Structure 1
């Protein structure tokens, strides 16, 4: 169950980074509220996950999910570049996240 908490926490991290961008420096109320809801849920779920998963592993996986997801959101919503090297390193990061899951007890 801890891994599910951690994955959902990572998805909420994507949500709070996206809402942060859309909040326009907290001038857009609905996106600002979305940011605070997402960040609260993300930290709450990550905290539940680290009750079982080693803290360093959980933090790396949580950050990795957020980083990969935020890059993908940037590519889709903001037309950020999706060149070979950027995608290569995103897949390398995904491989690292999977590796951490596989070697964690």
Structure 2
């Protein structure tokens, strides 16, 4: 009988912890949103993850962003090289004036 009360006490303690930390409220809000959805999603667990913020970005999005970053880095390098080349060519026609004292 005491083990039953100890388990009951632990459950009550855990329930209070979840309430105080806001977990119960967050889950309640998400479940209400799911309930109020006009068209229920086929994957309710994915809905919960998405609304909890645990899902993270889609892997296709991440991959496309990586490709874009790689392309932009290559473009920056090309533009930096072109800029240096244009500066050196300009220097031939318009030598920089050094200040005379």
TM-score above 0.5, yes or no: no
Tell me which protein shows more helix as a share of its residues.
1
User: Comparing both chains, which one has the higher relative contact order based on Cα–Cα distances under 8 Å and sequence gaps of 6 or more?
Assistant: 1
Name the larger-Rg structure.
Answer: 2
What TM-score comes out, normalization by structure 1 length?
A: 0.30
